[in-house]
Chains A and B, each alone.
Chain A
Amino acid sequence: GDSVTQMEGPVTLSEEAFLTINCTYTATGYPSLFWYVQYPGEGLQLLLKATKADDKGSNKGFEATYRKETTSFHLEKGSVQVSDSAVYFCALSGNQGGKLIFGQGTELSVKP
């Protein structure tokens, strides 16, 4: 079945460092891909999405490009801030009637 694999955390960075969180997926057909963010004590919020190959999703300085040839959707940000500290989830929605399949989540901690 469909699945999502993320790099394990926690990831600890200094403020203004470059961020990459790897995400790869397995799915039949052409899924839509998402990144969600969960701040401490809160629910998940949609960060960005891409619905077809080569699409680039972007929001709040974060970017991810849908790479069908490598089945990847890596999250990047050029300069992280302390306020970016959160858990990041990669997810896909394939041919399963709207269900979202999540990766295991990657915790990011940004130090001043």
Chain B
Amino acid sequence: NAGVTQTPKFQVLKTGQSMTLQCAQDMNHEYMSWYRQDPGMGLRLIHYSVGAGITDQGEVPNGYNVSRSTTEDFPLRLLSAAPSQTSVYFCASSLSTSTANYGYTFGSGTRLTVV
């Protein structure tokens, strides 16, 4: 049972480059989301999805795109990387939007540095 798998674990980008952070879950979870973690700011929601074909913006969506073509995968795309996007990115999933009952499962994170 792999849970939530994120790749890569580490990445260094130059300003202006684009890349995709991968997230996959094998638990048939409906709900998937991306957070960024910055010192002193906790985790902030970037984008989320309540099911295949449905995505929506979170608190800090600018500079990021997502899509959800399958239940299992929820990639996060950085369109033109900026130093302000240096952060640790976490993907999380839940069986449904009723997180009170099911909670979230987190991936191990991607540490991104933009130079």
Contact = CB atoms under 8 A, between A and B. Distances in A.
Interface stretch (B13-21, B35-43, B65-73, B74-82): B35-43
Q: For chain A, what secondary structure do more than half of its interface residues adopt (helix, strand, loop), or is it mixed?
A: strand
B58 A98 contact: no
Interface size class of B (residues with CB under 8 A): 20 to 34
Interface residues of A, number: 22
Interface string A67-104: 00000000000000000000001000100011110111
B109 A43 contact: yes
B43 A45 contact: no
A51 B98 CA distance: 11
Interface of A: 4, 32, 34, 36, 41-46, 49, 51, 89, 93, 97-100, 102-105
